[in-house]
């Protein structure tokens, strides 16, 4: 996975970079999460989006609990090589709250996104939606 031609990703002091997931078809920005070298390698090897949870301190595969996987069509890097863009096909919803995108609210609090599943039917009490988000607070 480390061909000479690959862009060298500039991971931060914690070994992470932010990754934006965008729907490859509609262009909708779905979520932002963090990616380690291992998460990036797994993403490229499997074609399914992997991230690194800062709160749980572990690698996670999007959709492992919910089934709402992201099939990664392409990985892009920005000019500084310190941010990634995953172009994905999103099964179901990206957000653990049931919305297709995590960015379903304006800063004024208006809901503008589409709810596509019932989180209570997808996550049990134990996982509590943690699979698709990383609540740092």
Is residue 61 within 8 A of residue 50, CB to CB? The reply is yes
Q: Which is nearer to its own copies, 12 or 128 (CB)?
A: 12
Identify the CA nearest to 97 among candidates 106, 105, 108, 107.
105
H helices of 14-56, in order, are 37-46
Q: Please state the φ and ψ torsions of residue 30, each to the nearest 5 degrees.
A: -95, -45
Q: Which is nearer to its own copies, 31 or 122 (CB)?
A: 31
- According to CB under 8 A, which one of 107, 121, 125, 126 is a site residue for its own copies? 107
Which residue stretch of 10-18, 45-53, 58-66, 120-128 sits at the interface with its own copies (rule: CB under 8 A)? 10-18
Q: Does 130 bind its own copies (CB under 8 A)?
A: no
- List b or e across 109-127, with b for residues whose CB sees 16 or more CB atoms inside 10 angstroms: eeeebeeebebeebbeeee
| d(C-alpha 100, C-alpha 98), whole Å | 7
Q: Does 12 bind its own copies (CB under 8 A)?
A: yes
Q: Does 57 bind its own copies (CB under 8 A)?
A: no
Strand partners, 37: none
Three-state DSSP state, 22:
strand
Q: Does 22 bind its own copies (CB under 8 A)?
A: yes
Is residue 43 within 8 A of residue 21, CB to CB? The reply is no
How far apart are CB 92 and its own copies at their closest, in Å? 15
Q: Which is nearer to its own copies, 33 or 69 (CB)?
A: 33
Q: Please enumerate, by residue number, every residue annotated as part of a binding site.
A: 78-80, 82, 95, 102
Task: List residues binding its own copies (CB under 8 A).
Answer: 3, 5-7, 9-10, 12, 18, 20, 22, 26-29, 31-32, 40, 44, 74-80, 82-85, 95-97, 99, 102-109, 112, 133-137
């Amino acid at each position: 996975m480390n061909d000479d031609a690959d862009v060298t990703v500039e991971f931060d002091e914690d070994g992470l970079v932010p990754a934006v997931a965008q729907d490859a078809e509609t262009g909708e920005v779905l979520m932002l999460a963090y990616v380690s070298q291992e998460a990036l390698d797994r993403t490229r090897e499997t074609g399914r989006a992997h991230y690194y949870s800062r709160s749980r301190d572990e690698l996670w595969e999007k959709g492992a609990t919910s089934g709402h996987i992201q099939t990664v069509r392409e990985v892009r890097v920005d000019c500084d090589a310190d941010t990634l863009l995953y172009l994905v096909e999103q099964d179901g919803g990206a957000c653990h709250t049931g919305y297709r995108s995590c960015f379903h609210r304006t800063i004024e609090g208006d809901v503008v996104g589409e709810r596509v599943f019932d989180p209570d039917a997808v996550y049990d009490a134990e996982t509590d939606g943690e699979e698709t988000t990383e609540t740092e607070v």
